[in-house]
A and B are shown apart, each in its own frame.
Chain A
Amino acid sequence: MAVAGYFKRAIKNIKENGFISCLTIVTISLLVLMVSTFILFIDNAGRVMDSWKSGIRIMVYIKPDLSDSAIDMLKEKISDFQEVEEVWFIPREQALDLLKKQMGHQAPILDDLKENPLPDAFEIAIGKGPGQHALTYDQIQILASNIRRFSQVEQVEYGQQWLERFSSIFDFFRVIGFAIGSVIVFAATFILANTIRLIVYARQDELQVMRLVGAYDRFIKTPFYLQSIILGGLGAAIGLAVLYAGYNYWFSSAETWFLSVDIGFLSSRACMVIIFSSMFLGWLGCHFSLKKFLKD
């Protein structure tokens, strides 16, 4: 009953201040659109990179003249690493055949060789690390150097240089995104606080009368909190809806096969988190405003 009354007054507040309420909702939805677009981008880019990373193979070249049992033992040891998913032995002859195939019509050069110059090798497919995340580039590096420590190992090669660079660019993006996100959170709180401040100013007389006749604090303040939370939530919901529409427009038909993963929308949990965060910012902005502009 009391709650319904507060809601009624909050809705009335919004209606009576329609212009500024709309302005606030639009601004918040733009900010949420920016943030959630970025989250969507980071989220999908991360998954694309994970899939690329899980495609990385580590090549382990082994010393010549090892016995078959020594090779088997080495294979065992390598398989024992948690991060290693699968190990294939590639005999030097097979490697040479492969090389010939790749060289195509230039292959006859290799026929002049008296001896196969290639070493025996293992090819390693990398699995997931602890916590089912794709390995980071650092983790791949550590795995490689651990394998190199075996005395039977001549050399370890892995990964493409570009992936490392891509990885660091991606991390840089994440940091920038976080910074911009913080600024946007600050801006959204400020905008909501400012809206409440304007409305508090506009109703100064009314609030004073309420206070002087003995209205409880919560009677005066609750509608403002509700109003601010509604504006925050509505803004976030609209921002996400716009993002979803855009997502459907760009990605439902777009050819994304080359990325090797499906471009997914934010999970419903992520959407909830965004909406509730925005509502929380509404609460926070209102709190600042009332603290500063509603004294008795």
Chain B
Amino acid sequence: MAALIRCEDLWKIYRLGDVEVQALRGLNLSIASGEFVAIMGSSGSGKSTLMNILGCLDQPTRGRYWLNDVDAAGLRADQLADIRNRQIGFVFQNFNLIPRTSALENAQLPLFYRGVSLREQRALATAALCRVGLQGREGHYPTQLSGGQQQRVAIARALVTEPSLLLADEPTGNLDTESSREIMAILDQLNKEQGITIILVTHETDIAAYAEREIVIKDGRVLTDRHTRLAVPLSRPEV
């Protein structure tokens, strides 16, 4: 299988005055299309830094990153925006919904920037909300939704454009166990039924257990990388 993601010797160095923080130190990574990968590691090990680079939200200080065999370093800001819009869905720990804006409009947002007609935006966003079990909540504002529901709106927003890659940085970090399970069930289904490549950052082993591959990062480098198909829990919750 062709690699969807390929990283070679990625470095990310933050400079805060005189202090230099090396968040990534020559990280190498290759992920194939259709994989469900969990990234683990202690706090500050560089997981979010990596995810932001993979999501074309940030650029590495050094090293190369190919997405679909395209070198991200050679792209202009508008081209990166296009990639984020068409190929990538991003789910954040803190949901990052636009405040005082309905669930439907939040879910519409990527289509809005794609220049789709308003009617089609509505239809696709409604369908996406339905897929994450939020039918009937289209008009709700983020403050009128629970954390789990907000994260589901964020997932609907991420998948409304039918991306090939879904990046989720601790998507269940702010959620209770029950909501976490629901979110993971949705992600699992997206991977199994639609073949969307999912990369998930988590601290929790039972969340990581949904994935087929587990990468542990330490001090900005890959510490271990193993396939965990057999580690899948027997009692996988039904959707």
Q: Are A and B a genuine interacting pair, yes or no?
A: no
Chain B interface residues toward A at CB < 8 A:
none
